[in-house]
């Protein structure tokens, strides 16, 4: 039986993507590439921070020009030296401590930075009118939610990387943020 390409249709959810990443992380394969309709997903296991592999491609809307899509894919690929490009600004992963270092000459900060994992809209509260997750001076525990970055109607929880006190909040509610941008800093305890 011959399968025609347009007979198969599936819309991926955020949970589907997370499940795929977890499956690849647990599997012995090193790389996975999926292309269905307007979704292009490439996962390559590496030694970046965290236990999950790096997602080097994402959903590319069909209205984008091919060159724009390729530029976005290339911007997220890790280089051979463990640097990941983030909107033109490389962020270095320290493989021994899983801390992210902002390159010299870039924004300097005292304390531990909380970086935006994606480009999107930052929200300081769980819903409009609610109290913010944290304020300057608030004590936080490791993995406590401190904000949300919305990308294409998907809410991505931003969590504190260490126990400490919020020293500085660099972005305002509903502000557009870039991937790798410092959202807050924590003074570790």
User: Pairing between strand 99-101 and 83-86?
Assistant: unpaired
- Name the residue ranges covered by the structural domains of the chain: 5-90, 107-188
In tens, the pLDDT along 5-28 reads: 555 566 777 777 777 777 777 777
- Give the pLDDT score at 10: 65
Whole-Å CA distances, 47 to 32, 54, 96, 99:
16, 9, 10, 13
- Give the pLDDT score at 7: 58
Q: What distance in Å separates the CA atoms of residue 79 and residue 44, rounded to the nearest whole number?
A: 12
- Give the pLDDT score at 177: 93
Segment 38-54 mean pLDDT: 61
Pick the CATH number of 107-188 from 2.40.50.100, 3.40.50.1400, 3.40.50.300, 3.40.50.620: 2.40.50.100
Looking at per-residue pLDDT, the higher value among 67 and 152 belongs to: 152
At 55, the pLDDT band (50, 70, 90 cuts) reads very low
Length of the chain: 189
Residue 85 pLDDT exceeds 60:
no
Percentage of the residues of the chain whose pLDDT score is greater than 70: 60
| Radius of gyration for the alpha carbons in the chain, expressed in angstroms and rounded | 18
- Give the pLDDT score at 96: 40
Segment 20-47 mean pLDDT: 74
Is this prediction's pTM over 0.75? no
At 57, the pLDDT band (50, 70, 90 cuts) reads very low
């Amino acid at each position: 039986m011959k399968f025609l390409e347009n007979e198969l249709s599936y819309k991926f959810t955020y949970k589907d993507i997370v499940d795929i990443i977890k499956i690849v992380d647990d599997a012995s394969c090193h790389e996975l590439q999926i292309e269905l309709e307007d979704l292009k997903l490439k996962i390559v296991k590496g030694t970046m921070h965290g236990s999950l592999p790096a997602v080097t491609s994402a959903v590319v809307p069909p209205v984008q020009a091919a060159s724009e899509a390729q530029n976005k894919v290339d911007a997220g690929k890790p280089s051979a030296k463990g640097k990941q490009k983030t909107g033109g600004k490389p962020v270095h992963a320290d493989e021994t401590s899983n801390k992210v270092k902002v390159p010299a000459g870039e924004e300097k900060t005292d304390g531990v930075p909380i970086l935006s994992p994606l480009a999107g809209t930052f929200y300081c509260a769980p819903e409009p009118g609610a109290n913010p997750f944290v304020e300057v001076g608030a004590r936080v525990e490791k993995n406590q939610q401190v904000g949300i970055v919305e990308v294409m109607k998907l809410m991505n929880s931003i969590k504190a990387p260490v126990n400490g006190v919020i020293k500085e909040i660099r972005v305002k509610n509903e502000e557009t943020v870039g991937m790798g941008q410092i959202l807050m800093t924590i003074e570790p305890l």
